[in-house]
Each structure stands twice: as structure tokens, then as C-alpha cells.
Amino acid sequence: MRTQIVIIGSGPAGLLLGQLLHHYGIDNIIVERQDRDYILGRIRAGVLEQGTVKLLEQVGVGQRLHREALIHSGIYLTFAGQRHTIDFKVATGGRTVAVYGQTEVTQDLMDARAAAGLRTIYHAKDVKPNGIDGASPIVSFVQEGREVTIDCDFIAGCDGFHGVSRQCIPSSAIQTFERVYPFGWLGLLSDTPPVAEELIYTRHERGFALCSMRSMTRSRYYLQCSLDERVEDWSDAQFWDELRCRLDPEARDSLVTGPSLEKSIAPLRSFVAEPMRFGRLFLAGDAAHIVPPTGAKGLNLAASDVHYLSQALREYYAEKSSAGLDGYSQRALARVWKAERFSWWMTSMLHRMSADDGFAERLQLAELDYLIHSKAATTSLAENYVGLPF
Ligand code: RFL
Ligand code: PHB
């Protein structure tokens, strides 16, 4: 088999890259370890920046999004038992975010890919990028017990944090930067109406809590938990009790509870690999970087990466210029590091860091108090949350 670009991984990064390349007339094949249902079953991101929405429109998958997404013009911040509004429209001159689940984005992109007749190979085992430091890379894998190879011009490693792409780069050619946080998020999805019209980010002595949503009838909640906790040990009733305890009085009164559709624990991590290229292999999305979910940036960074990469590949084929490919890593990393900073800052300000650290606790409260009273600080949060330009 031969194609121009082999994309490893069929998450949002790989699927969006595939559609962007198709839009530019560049042939591509996606090779994915899992199957469609497994990918659609993962409950992850919920907040899309306007830049991400624009890219989805560009590849023709904006219709359902425009019908079903909830447009949000701010968030609530709760601390010391009181709720405060951060108004994005006022702070950023009218910008908003869209609440539309990663599952829906993935579904829309998969449908568009199928409609365009583009090839995706699911259930590919033992995927290996080969010859990435030469001019003719090959991706090999095992499908139904048979070894298959695809010749290509370039490989896009869109296979997430645990993927094979980053791992096949020689360690002497890549540098990594990491922060692991001493806590995780316990998430619960339920068919209950959202507790408030905006997302609520809560700092509480017992730990962080987030009230998010997927629609007017489906809610997504998160609780900061310790890393040794097991999801099986949390009954729905315990989850709702703990959430109620961390909320402000108004939210506590309006919270509607119900059986969980899904419950899971995610560890929190900040991670960046530099550069995002080795020879003919380019990394994009979680394969190259991870942010803690507090800033809602992971999926949006995957979108800006593949935007830069697709432009660089278009330039390579249409204008016979490698300049975009040579500049890809630097261009992407400039935006990645700003999102890393923002996500780390939001996480540090809102989570219970360690027991008995009164100094850190008072700094958090001072920072939050400053944030809601300073126009400059509110604007800074708002412009990062709605997304820096790309
Ligand atoms: P993905 O989604 O992990 O997809 C990678 C794909 O590669 C496949 N794969 C392989 N395929 C072939 N061979 C191999 N060896 C392979 N190894 C892996 C995998 O099966 C998978 O299909 O990475 P991608 O595409 O880079 O997308 C990144 C996003 O999924 C991620 O950044 C976001 O979900 C992060 N995130 C959020 N991002 C936002 O922008 N806004 C949010 O509100 C938000 N909330 C969240 C989040 C992530 C969370 N968790 C669970 C970490 C909330 C949570 C709780
Ligand atoms: C979500 O709805 O899953 C979500 C929303 C905002 C975040 C993280 C996750 O910051």
C-alpha cells in the first residue's frame, strides 16, 4: 500500500488532520489500534475554542455542532463559599466557547471521513513507524494476523500520550518536560440537567470540584481525588454527597442527581516533548504534550497542532517548500507552552495541594480574590480560556 501521509491514531488530532489534508487534496490513511466504539466510548473533553470550531467548519463538520453546541460566554468561580462570574464577552470583546463533547466531535469527524471514502484501518496491532530518518518512511502493523506495510512521504504521530510514535524517536533527539500532580479527577456523567447555566470551577478545602455539561439534559461533574482511590469505591450516592459538600449554597440547592452513566478517574499531568518532529515523523496532540484538564485545553491544542501541520504539508506539496515543515515544531510549541502555563496555573490555584500548608492556601485565596477584583487579571484568565489565536 502507498499513501502520502500515514496518520497513526484516530483520536481528534488524527481525524481532524485527516480531514484537513483531504481538504487540501493530500491523500492519507489512518492506522488505529482500537475500534470505533472503543474510541467513542471515552468520555473526555467538553469545551471548544472558537479557533477549533472554525477548523471543524472548514472541514465541513460544523452543522450538528451549530445545532447542538451550547455557547458559553463565561464561567463561574466559587471559593470561600461564594460564586463569582468571569464574563468572557466583557473581558475579550465578545468571544465565547462552545460546549460540545469530544465524543460528538469524534463522531462527526468519523462520519465525514467515511462519507469522503478515506481509509481508516482499525484494530491494527504492533504499529511501527520505520525509516523516519530517511526519505521513504514505512508504517508496518499486523492486521488479522498478517503483517501489512504502507509506504508514505511523512508520518503523523497522533497516537496520544501512550502511543508508539514519540517512543520511536531516539532519546538523544528528544527532550521532555514534566509535572505530575499528587491528585486526580473523579468524573461522573449523568442524564440530569446542569446545575447552572455556566460551568462552575470550585476551590474548596476538601478539594477542587467542576460542574460541566454536555447538553441541557446531560451533566458532567468532576471531583479532585487522591491517586490511591479506586473508582469502584465511589458509589453514586457518595459522589453526589461529596459534590454537594463542595458547592456554593445556590448550586447545592439546585443540584439534580441521578444514576451515573459513566464514572472514571484520570490522573493529572503536564508534559511536553521537544521538538515535535524527528526526520519525517511529526507529533501532534497528546502524543507531544499533555495538560491537566483544568484549563480545558487538551483537545484545542490538538486542533492548533494539526492546523499548523496541515498548512505545512499543503505548502510542501503545493509550493514545493519545506519551510513550513521545518518551522512546524517551533510554531506549535510557542502555543503549547502558553497553554501549559495557563493549565498549570488554573490547576495550582484551584486544587488542594497538600494538607497543612496554610501558606499555600492563603496564597490561593489571595490570588482568587485578586482575580475577581482586577480587570487585568480577569482579562488574562478570559483570553486564555477562550483560546489564544492560531
Ligand atoms: P487521543 O484522544 O488520546 O487519541 C489517540 C489515538 O491513538 C490511538 N493509539 C494508537 N493507534 C495505533 N497504534 C498505537 N500504538 C496507538 N497508541 C494509541 C488511541 O487508541 C487513540 O484513538 O489523543 P489526541 O487525538 O491527541 O486528542 C487529545 C485529546 O483526547 C485530549 O487532549 C483531551 O481529551 C483532553 N481533555 C480536554 N481537552 C479540551 O480541550 N477541553 C476539555 O474540556 C478537556 N477535558 C480532557 C478533559 C481530558 C480528560 N482526561 C480523561 C485525560 C477532561 C478529561 C477528564
Ligand atoms: C468537561 O466537560 O469534561 C470539562 C469541561 C471543562 C474542563 C474540563 C473538562 O476544564
Task: For residue range 17-55, list pLDDT tens digits in order.
Answer: 999 999 999 999 999 999 999 999 888 888 999 999 999
> How does pLDDT run across 56-97, given as a tens digit for each residue?
999 999 999 999 999 999 999 999 999 999 999 999 999 999
Q: pLDDT for 4-21, tens place per residue?
A: 999 999 999 999 999 999
The tens digit of pLDDT for each residue in 272-300 reads 999 999 999 999 999 999 999 999 999 99
pTM: 0.97
Q: Is position 89 annotated as part of the catalytic site?
A: no
Together in a domain, 28 and 49: yes
Q: Are residues 141 and 172 both part of a single domain?
A: yes
Which amino acid is residue 154, in one-letter code? F
Q: Are 215 and 308 in the same domain? A: no
Q: Which of 20, 44, 263 to mutate to test the pocket of ligand 1 (most atoms within 8 A of CB)?
A: 44
- Are 256 and 315 found together in one domain? no
Cα separation, 145 vs 125, in Å, equals 9
Q: What share of the chain has pLDDT > 90, as a percent?
A: 97
In terms of domains, do 235 and 328 share one?
no
Q: What is the pLDDT of residues 137-154, one digit of tens each?
A: 999 999 999 999 999 999
Which three cell numbers, joined as nine digits, stand for 43? 468520555
Closest by CA to 320, choosing from 129, 137, 153, 133, is 153
Please indicate, yes or no, if residue 379 is contained in any of the structural domains: yes
In a domain, 236, yes or no: yes
Same domain, 150 and 186: no
Tell me, what's the pLDDT at 354?
A: 81
31, 19: one domain? yes
The answer to whether 289 is a known catalytic residue is no
Told to judge if 297 belongs to the known catalytic residues of this protein, a careful annotator would answer yes
pLDDT over 90 at 128, yes or no? yes
The single residue listed with the C-alpha cell 446542569 is 194
Examine residue 81 and state whether it is found in any structural domain, yes or no: no
Examine residue 82 and state whether it is found in any structural domain, yes or no: no
Q: How far is the CA of 86 from the centre of ligand 2 (A)?
A: 16
Atom of ligand 1 nearest to the CA of 159: 7
Shared-domain flag, residues 135 and 58:
yes
Give the CATH number for residue 47.
Answer: 3.50.50.60
Task: Mark whether 118 and 217 lie in a shared domain.
Answer: no
Active site residue 193: no
Q: Which ligand is nearest to the CA of 294?
A: 2
pLDDT (average), residues 350-374:
93
Scan for cell 507552552, then name that residue.
337
Cβ neighbours of 125 (radius 10 Å): 11
Residue list, ligand 1 pocket, CB within 6 Å: 8-14, 31-34, 39, 44-47, 102, 124, 127, 158-160, 163-164, 185, 187, 266, 285-286, 293, 296-300, 302
Pocket test for ligand 1, best of 30, 282, 299 (most atoms within 8 A of CB): 299
My answer on whether 186 and 119 are in the same domain is: no
CATH number of the domain to which 244 belongs: 3.30.9.10
| Known catalytic residue at 385 | yes
- C-beta neighbour count of 170 within 10 angstroms: 9
For residues 341 and 366, membership in a common domain is answered with: no
158 Cα: distance to centroid of ligand 2 (angstroms): 21
CA atoms of 128 and 138, how far apart (whole Å): 8
Q: Alpha-carbon distance 264 to 346, whole Å?
A: 22
Domain with 195, as residue range(s), is 181-267+352-386
Calculate how far, in angstroms, residue 376's C-alpha sits from the geometric centre of ligand 1.
33
Same domain, 244 and 309: no
339 Cα to the center of ligand 1, angstroms: 16
- Domain total for the chain? 2
